[in-house]
Structure 1
């Protein structure tokens, strides 16, 4: 049976700031992220299986990505936990805001690395994460490919 790639797309809103950066992104701001997750595998050949003909049910992939990424990052503000932004983060958390403290600079590049690790852990054994594309703006995005990692 042929190996097939399938892609599911997601949208979420997230704020962040890049500590130490020399441009506008040093300020707290947000993006309407578009996330595309592509997995590969062989369609299920067992015609008695309710998922017959599917690589993975889009609903199952959606559940994984929503639980690991979208539900966590949507309408949250992300800061590197090793920067002075932790003071601002604490203030925001004290006021009831969703804040994520991560161990990396929250750039699109680093976020796709984080997302790839989280998604790969949850995929069924026969399904491989092929790629992730995280679009920060209409003209800017980062991509992660399994073949390069």
Structure 2
């Protein structure tokens, strides 16, 4: 029986986004504050996922050995380092989160049966890399606050209450929604980026956060005049809104995850289906 196990590790390091072939003004225009000398730092969190058959001891890998490999090959070299000067790979391609994850995979794959490298630059930004050459998936997290009511207009209050419970109450209720948007694309061989992060965040803000924040979804967002704003339907609509703007940035919308509360979230896997006006055509995973 195959099983996936995950090992967590941490390291703190600094880096700078700077291309010597560009002028100072060009670097500032391209990388913004990330180009400032001498750089900036992060507390990185790394998840190494391994796949394999269970052995006679009930393990995929001996985690003590896994810990040792990760320390020797990665964290002992990167912890408290200036990444631009630490590994030769970062001389050719900048130490972006995407490229760091890729190089970590290359360092660990001769020793461990990897299935995924997940690297958090901070809690609102992380990357998944699965050994697909220059392809990586970047996820950004944001939030908005909104109210909604779950009810079908053709049903009575009693009928809606039977279906939606307290969520059918006539004056609605609110949530602090957390939104995760994942995009997949090819890393640029020089910059190490799959997308301009500032432009990605702007698209999410312009198309979702600003229009949705501090609204009553049923009344303020025309789409939900006819569609019940369940977490699933909100996530589907967000995916529809973001598909084309994100494609225009040169990457593909991979997943939308909407966390309605600590107990309720849903995920839309956008690359496995066609985004159109019918929520039924999306793959929805409820967590």
Distance 1:128 1:8, change over 3 A: same
Structure 2, gaps ≥5 residues long: 1-132, 153-159, 274-287
Which structure carries more relative contact order (alpha carbon 8 Å, separation 6+)? 1
Q: Quote the Cα distance in structure 1 between the aligned partners of 2:176 and 2:151.
A: 20
The reply to whether residue 17 of structure 1 matches residue 149 of structure 2 is yes
If the length of structure 1 is used for normalisation, what is the TM-score? Answer: 0.79
Task: Encode CA deviations 1:11-42: one digit per residue, 9 max, x unaligned.
Answer: 11000001143210012000000000000001
Match of 1:82 in 2: none
The reply to whether residue 35 of structure 1 matches residue 156 of structure 2 is no
Distance 1:59 1:100, change over 3 A: same
Pick from 15, 26, 34 the counterpart of residue 168 of structure 2.
Answer: 26
Between Structure 1 and Structure 2, which shows a larger proportion of helix residues? 2
Structure 1, gaps ≥5 residues long: 80-88, 90-98
Runs of 4+ in structure 1 off by over 3 angstroms are none
Pick from 222, 231, 235 the counterpart of residue 101 of structure 1.
Answer: 222
The reply to whether residue 8 of structure 1 matches residue 140 of structure 2 is yes
Match of 1:132 in 2: 256
Deviates more, 1:31-40 or 1:139-148: 139-148
Q: Quote the Cα distance in structure 2 between the aligned partners of 1:132 and 1:139.
A: 17
Deviates more, 1:34-43 or 1:12-21: 12-21
Task: Encode CA deviations 1:107-148: one digit per residue, 9 max, x unaligned.
Answer: 110111111111111012631111010000011001000243
Q: Cα RMSD between the aligned structures?
A: 1.4
**Greater C-alpha Rg:** 2
Match of 2:265 in 1: 141
Q: Quote the Cα distance in structure 2 between the aligned partners of 1:32 and 1:75.
A: 10
If the length of structure 2 is used for normalisation, what is the TM-score? Answer: 0.42
Match of 2:212 in 1: 73
Task: Encode CA deviations 1:61-120: one digit per residue, 9 max, x unaligned.
Answer: 1100100100000000011xxxxxxxxx4xxxxxxxxx2232311111011111111111
